[in-house]
Amino acid sequence: LIESLSDLDKLAVLGHGNGGTVYKVRHRNSSAVFALKVLCFDCDTIAIRHQATREAEILKRVNSPHVVRCHGVFDGQSGDLCFATEYMDAGSLHDLLRIRRILPERVIAGVARRVLEGLKYLHGMRIVHRDLKPSNLLVNGLGEVKIADFGVSRVVAGDTCGGGGGCCDSYVGTCAYMSPERFDPDTCGGRYDGFAGDVWSLGVVLLECHVGRYPLISAGQRADWATLMCAICFGGPPEVPETASEEFESFIRRCLEKDWRRRATVQELLSHPFVARGHSSAQGLLDNA
Ligand code: ATP
Ligand code: MG
């Protein structure tokens, strides 16, 4: 049990994200290693800090083998908010894709299965992730993939759907995995439940694992907000390469259905033939990594 921030020694910087830095830390008494995410808040964002603190209470109750565990939330220096989480020693799917570029379908199916199990758990607790993307899927030395950063990133980035401020202005990467309905002002006011948005994001991530790059715009295109928004909202159905199996193609089409009401649910995808043949632990994810 981590009682206070002063029990943790910083060992290294693991990465930087939207609004914060992640450190590898060691708990002095137990020698256990954790990741510590430090989120900075300036005066403008102090109000959402309160919200973040409230959401943090939810994080501590989340306990699933498919979700990165939160071991404590602490107040840091000058208003920082710090999250001690399970340390995932093989980094993120984003890091792995940079090394391997593409993954075989059998490995993608394993990733899909684990993330769907994680979403089933979170959605069951009425938690919508809203920011599924390769850097928020973390991998450990056993090749297990777990979902990280639900809630937190959303609160920090603001839950904006339009182009006026918030996540998309500060970090284009955040809206690249966002579903079409999140851009639509009519669905912004909470009239859609949001769960289907996580399914869309998962579809984009898995297609990216097969194609070897962000799949919804062409290779040379600039990934600015307007281009991404147009591709996501007005583009045709996703181009699944001919190299894909029929099952994979059908799975991706069910995830990337534009109309969220017709999109597959997590439950439906868990019994899709593509996932049914996937390994439950994503063994193979770490091969030649
Ligand atoms: P966002 O802020 O939108 O989540 P991000 O995921 O790129 O964007 P961070 O969540 O701050 O940014 O994470 C930065 C990097 O730190 C990740 O890409 C990952 O490599 C590393 N990292 C984050 N959490 C952990 C963890 N629990 N264990 C190991 N590495 C981690
Ligand atoms: Mg993250």
Tell me the per-residue pLDDT of 192-226, one tens digit each, with 9 for 90 and over.
678 999 999 999 999 999 999 999 998 888 888 89
Q: Give the pairing type, strands 81-86 and 8-17.
A: unpaired
pLDDT at 245: 95
Those residues whose C-beta lies under 8 Å from the C-beta of residue 238, and which sit 6 or more positions away, are: 203, 207, 215, 216, 252, 253, 256
- Give pLDDT, residue 248: 96
CA 232 to centroid of ligand 1, rounded, Å: 25
Which is more confident, 45 or 255? 255
pTM assigned to the model: 0.89
User: Of 23-27, 67-71, 161-165, where does mean pLDDT reach its minimum?
Assistant: 161-165
Q: Which of 22, 36, 69, 131 to mutate to test the pocket of ligand 1 (most atoms within 8 A of CB)?
A: 22
Please check the confidence at residue 268 and state whether its pLDDT lies above 90: yes
Instruction: Report yes or no: 117 and 270 within 8 Å, Cβ to Cβ.
Output: yes
Question: Do 177 and 133 touch, CB atoms closer than 8 A?
Answer: yes
For ligand 1, whether the C-beta of 15 sits within 6 Å is yes
Contacts of 286 (CB under 8 A, 6+ apart): 90, 96, 139, 141, 143
Annotated active-site residue 7? The verdict is: no
Alpha-carbon gap, residue 4 to 15, rounded angstroms: 22
How far is it, in rounded angstroms, from Cα 104 to Cα 92? 17
pLDDT in tens, 163-182: 333 333 333 446 899 999 98
Residue 173: per-residue pLDDT: 46
Residues with CB under 5 A from ligand 2 (ion): 17, 136, 149
Q: Is the CB of 18 under 6 A from ligand 1?
A: yes
Contacts (Cβ under 8 Å, ≥6 apart) of 185: 161, 162
